[in-house]
Amino acid sequence: MSPLTFGWNIAGTVDMVGSEVDLKVGDPIWGHLDFDPFQKQGSYSEYVVMRANAVAIRPNNLEAAKAASFATTGLTALQAIRNYGGLESGKTLLVIGAGGGIGGVAVGLAKQLGAEVIAVCSTRDIEKVKLRGADKVIDRKNEDFTKSGIKVDVILDTPSKYNFSKCSQLLKCGGTYVDLHPWTLFSGFLQALVSGKKCKFAQVQSKREDLELLGEWTLEGMPLPISIESHFPVRDLGEALHQRLKPSRSGAIAVTIEGGW
Ligand SMILES: NC(=O)c1ccc[n+]([C@@H]2O[C@H](COP(=O)([O-])OP(=O)(O)OC[C@H]3O[C@@H](n4cnc5c(N)ncnc54)[C@H](OP(=O)(O)O)[C@@H]3O)[C@@H](O)[C@H]2O)c1
């Protein structure tokens, strides 16, 4: 029986290709493993097998560790706000958790889509979130944004600490609340049905066309709110995961394969 391996996001080079694959051995790629509850392979390994359409050529201004981190945060944020939320130019997005990984990226991507962004974060992240392009920042430590009276088209709840019923009054008619966890989906979905608003759970999917769009925007100079706090060789994976859980962590933790196990 093969062991379960963790990890979702990857950046590396193509080692072998199947038939009808338009990538070549040696191509620098980035991507995100497909979600599959029965899947045993993870990205914390020397080799992974992926669908060709789940990876894209890595932009040359994006080093591997940042690309791996951006693959998951970028795809999740883009698909959550654009595909699930229906965000487009002229609409307004409220991002809860804008100081975090996915929330921070969502602020920049929403600006790229031409939307107005209201960001909710802790006091320590306010300046960082303003630099990401937020039009208005709400300090969640000093203000209850659920009582702010604002009206938006889309809400992205990255920590999933709120739910449709707590946020519904902030949505315009027809607006969408997007959660990154399915916990409250059922109750939210029922409430949304009678409210004329929508409640959705966004599940990231690795798609080459989305990676290519993110890569294009990166090459055009879109600021990337991604910093790598430390690199760990894969043999120190336990320590890397331990660092990942530290509340004082200020950036992503990269796991590198050089040297192997
Ligand atoms: N559905 C999917 O496809 C998918 C894909 C990837 C990840 N995820 C999930 O998405 C979640 C977010 O990931 P991430 O990488 O962005 O995490 P992260 O970097 O830890 O960011 C979470 C943010 O939420 C904020 N937060 C925590 N409690 C809060 C509260 N009560 N009110 C408002 N903000 C609060 C935190 O900031 P402060 O506490 O400092 O305010 C932090 O900035 C994770 O749970 C992850 O499992 C889902």
Instruction: Summarize pLDDT for 188-242 with one digit per residue, the tens.
Output: 788 888 899 999 999 999 999 999 999 999 999 888 888 899 999 998 999 999 9
Residues of the chain with CATH 3.90.180.10: 9-71+206-256
Distance 100 CA to ligand 1 centre (A): 6
Instruction: Determine which residue's CA is closest to atom 37 belonging to ligand 1.
Output: 97
Say how many Å lie between the CA of residue 86 and the centre of ligand 1: 21
| pLDDT of res. 260 | 54
Q: How many angstroms is it from 203 CA to the middle of ligand 1? A: 14
* CATH 3.40.50.720 domain span(s) along the chain: 84-201
| Fold of domain 9-71+206-256 | Quinone Oxidoreductase; Chain A, domain 1 (3.90.180)
Indicate whether 66 pLDDT > 60.
yes
- What are 117-174's pLDDT values in tens digits? 999 999 999 999 999 999 999 999 999 999 999 999 999 999 999 999 999 999 999 9
CA gap 154, 77 in Å, rounded: 13
pTM above 0.75, yes or no: yes
Q: Summarize the confidence of residues 174-178 as an average pLDDT.
A: 97
Give the architecture-level CATH label for domain 84-201: 3-Layer(aba) Sandwich (3.40)
Residue 92 has pLDDT above 90, yes or no: yes
Q: Amino acid identity of 65?
A: A
Q: Give the whole-angstrom CA distance, residue 176 versus residue 81.
A: 9
Residues 6+ apart with CB under 8 A from 11: 28, 29, 30, 58, 64, 65, 67, 68, 71
Residue whose CA lies nearest to ligand 1 atom number 21: 100
Which residue has the CA at smallest separation from atom 18 of ligand 1? 100
